[in-house]
Amino acid sequence: MNSNMEQNNEKIRANINTTTGILKEGIGRASGDKDMETEGTIQKTKGQAQKLSISIQDAIKKGKTLFGFKSKNG
């Protein structure tokens, strides 16, 4: 699997975690289910962290390209 495909899959997983977390959080809040609300908050935060990680990786790759650094892994 190439790097772009892997990164796209990571972005999809991040979006799924964020969206699912938001839904669980809202349903938990609306129904008074604190456990579900907490689970949703955790899953949403996980998705946001995944998105941040992807953004950082992109920035590093762009910086390497901009400044002419080469690495074995791209």
Per-residue pLDDT reduced to its tens digit, 55-66:
999 999 888 888
**What is the number of structural domains in the chain?**
1
As a whole number, the mean pLDDT across the chain is 91
DSSP at 10: H
What pLDDT score does 72 carry? 62
- 35 within a domain of the structure (yes/no): yes
Mean per-residue pLDDT, 1-20: 90
More confident residue, 70 or 50: 50
- 38 within a domain of the structure (yes/no): yes
- 16 within a domain of the structure (yes/no): no
Provide the 10 A C-beta neighbour count for residue 30: 10
pTM of the complete model beyond 0.85? no
Task: Please name which of 44, 2, 55, 4 lies closest in space to residue 20, comparing C-alpha atoms.
Answer: 44
Q: Which domain holds residue 33?
A: 22-55
- 41 within a domain of the structure (yes/no): yes
- 66 within a domain of the structure (yes/no): no
- 8 within a domain of the structure (yes/no): no
